[in-house]
Chain A
Amino acid sequence: MNSPKQQFPPLDWRGKSPEVLLARVRDAGIVGMGGAGFPTHLKLQAALQSDHRTVVANGVETDPGVTADRALLKQKGSDVLEGIGIVARILNASSSYLAVSNQSIAERLRICNDHDIAISVIDNDYQNGEERVLIEKITGEPISQDSYPAHNGIAVLNVATLFAICECVRDGLAVTKRIATVLGKDQWCEIDTPVHELANTSEKLRVGSFANGRSVKDQDTLKPIHNAISINLSSQALPCIRCGWCDSACPKDLPVERLLSESMGSISSPTAQTHLNECNDCGACVVSCPSRIPIIDYIRESRDRQNESGYIAQRANEARQRFEAKQQRIDSQNQRTMDERERRMQQEHKWQ
């Protein structure tokens, strides 16, 4: 592996102001590496608007078969803790937490914990790694569904993101590699390597876990947001036998089976529209499916289609409003001209 590229001068972050640190995070282009890919500096700026700020480091990974975060905490735990310290300084946070799913990792990190971080062990039950669930587990207070945690001053960051923040601030390194679970083995991968080259197999692959990852094409490369490369099991999918196991697996209690059959048939019922946006892509349905149907692919496709048609409808509506306003302007203009002419005609008439 070639040596990482030195992109910025190293910073002694304890002596720098939060603005300088935030600018560095922005310039390094760091995004959420847990899978969402949301720009980290925007998340931190959103959290800065709030009065009480909290950092939550998310080391609870519940994607089936993915152990990249655990491996990172084992190998680079102190760097992750330093990353939490940096973010806590940027936000001037009142408290910072690290949630991990493994007792031994927690014990090891507590030894080198010099940043006053509360390290807690959370069961890696499904969905505990989802940020709202995690916040409720740690702080005991639920976040309402219609606001993001960052709007409440809580910055939930994946441990891989925090490691990247630490490296870019302390050492000035760009994000050129990340740890990813490649077919069950955790390894450091160069970003932008073709996925098939990393996995070294001709089978169909997914980036992310086999449950909620996305299928890849031949030339697709590993991005910073991808925490795993897995076999695409759904290429062996059997027909849906409507057993309903996906319904009972769904942590959000959505009628998955109905959504799936509607998505397959390209039908969109009014209930489906709300349900599709409630789904948080966890992939529990895919794990439970005895026919190995890539349910989440259908759900995503249907959601995209719905949102797109919603967008088109919105654009059409705006265009219609603009057209009507213009028509009204023209009409009133004509009316005014007519009135004016009428008035002048009458005036001329008066002069005669």
Chain B
Amino acid sequence: MAISPEPKFQTTGIMVRVLIALVPGTAVAVWAFGLRMIPVVVTATFAAVASEVVCIRSFKTIRDGSALVTGILIGLCMPPTVPFWIVAVGSLIGIGIGKHVYGGLGKNLFNPAMVGYVAVLVSFPEQLTHFDAVTGATVLEVVSHRGGSTLVELSGHPSIGFFGAAGYEWVNCAFLLGGAYLCVVRIISWHMPLAVLVGAALPTVLFYDGGSAASWGSPLFHLFAGGTMLTAFFIATDPVTSPSGRVPIWIYGLFVGIATMAIRKYGAWADGYAFAILLANILLPYIERRVPVAKAWNR
């Protein structure tokens, strides 16, 4: 006897599936960056959930899993060498200022995970950019300072992998896999990740010249370096801070991709996805207001 058909998923169900989709990426990140990633992610998650409880003084909203997802995303953005208290501060700022200041789930203007990450990134730049223990800098940073020629020079170096940066290529592949799962179970539509990836590939396709010192890295390198896949599948697709409707989705996604690339190339930071997301969040109300809801495009 079916009393009533269930909705496709409930909000809690969405969050659970996002957690499942994050498993391969997290596992590969632990394998690539060392076992210290585990306590980093656990600290971030625990701090996020604790902040949620403190902010609303109740255990009620933990059940929807959104704080859990935010915490894990903050943890995955962090380098393994970061002090744990910085991770905790990131989660606290993300949940507290990024989410509950605005009124909680669904009312926040900015992606809470990115608010927390950017807050600690600009406050503790030294601790957060010592990603690679061997070279003391991420490959992205090297590329950002020395241009695409580095890649050719370093192609035999262990910190450069086959097509992305060492380790990163596999982490990104794993996030791609998890993201594909989310698309298949239709938690997210494939338009947003595709728009971000196209946006990221566009400048590199236009300006890559085979590896001169002034050029950008190759498109393949950039797609599989840094947090590209994490951004495309897990951060840009946050329903609360991304538009609905096909045209706004493409504008938002392309903006995130292009801005990430611009910050990687010209900005002071090695990777730009967090800033790109926050910039896109700022633009979002304007995009939603100015783009008419094109009926036929909405599906």
Chain A interface residues (CB < 8 Å from chain B) = 64-65, 183-185, 209-210, 230-231, 233, 238-245, 247-248, 253, 255, 257-258, 287-292
Contacts and interface: CB of A to CB of B under 8 A. Distances in A.
B122 interface: no
B239 A241 contact: yes
Nearest to B187: A243
CB-based closest 6 A-B pairs: A244-B244, A239-B106, A243-B239, A253-B295, A184-B3, A65-B4
13 contacts: A65-B3, A65-B4, A209-B4, A238-B11, A238-B64, A239-B107, A242-B240, A243-B244, A255-B293, A257-B244, A258-B288, A288-B8, A289-B7
Contacts of A289: 7
B10 A248 contact: no
With a 10 A CB-CB cut-off, give which of A65, A245, A258 has the most chain B CB atoms.
A245
Given A240-B106, A244-B239, A258-B293, 5 more contacts: A64-B4, A184-B1, A239-B107, A243-B239, A255-B298
B5 interface: yes
Contacts of A242: 106, 239-240, 242, 244
B30 to A, nearest CB: 29
A241 B11 contact: yes
A123 to B, nearest CB: 16
B14 A243 contact: yes
Most buried by B among A239, A253, A255: A239
Interface of B: 1-5, 7-14, 64, 66, 104-107, 239-240, 242-245, 288, 293, 295-296, 298-299
Nearest to A237: B11
Contacts of A64: 4-5
B288 to A, nearest CB: 8
B7 A288 contact: yes
Contact of A65 (B2, B14, B240, B288): B2
Contacts of A209: 4
B5 A183 contact: no
A205 to B, nearest CB: 12
Nearest to A253: B295
Given A240-B106, A257-B244, A245 B8 contact: yes
A247 B245 contact: yes
A277 to B, nearest CB: 16
Contacts of B240: 241-242
Contacts of A184: 1-4
A134 B86 CA distance: 62
Contacts of B9: 290
Pick from B239, B244, B288, B296 the residue with the most CB of A within 10 Å.
B244
A34 B12 CA distance: 35
A241 B106 contact: yes
Contacts of A247: 244-245, 293, 298
A233 B3 CA distance: 11
A292 B244 contact: no
Given A183-B3, A258-B293, A244 B245 contact: yes
B294 to A, nearest CB: 9
Contacts of A230: 3-4
A305 B96 CA distance: 36
Contacts of B14: 241, 243, 290
Nearest to B188: A243
A231 B3 contact: yes
Contact of A248 (B5, B107, B299): B299
Contacts of A231: 3-4
Q: Name, among B3, B4, B11, B296, the residue most crowded by chain A CB atoms within 10 Å (CB to CB).
A: B4
A245 B10 CA distance: 12
A290 B298 contact: no
A290 B7 contact: yes
A290 B13 contact: yes
Contacts of B242: 242
A258 B5 CA distance: 25
A290 B11 CA distance: 5
A253 B106 CA distance: 23
A253 B64 contact: no
A198 B3 CA distance: 15
Contact of A233 (B4, B105, B107): B4
Contacts of B245: 244, 247, 255
A338 to B, nearest CB: 57
Contacts of A239: 104-107
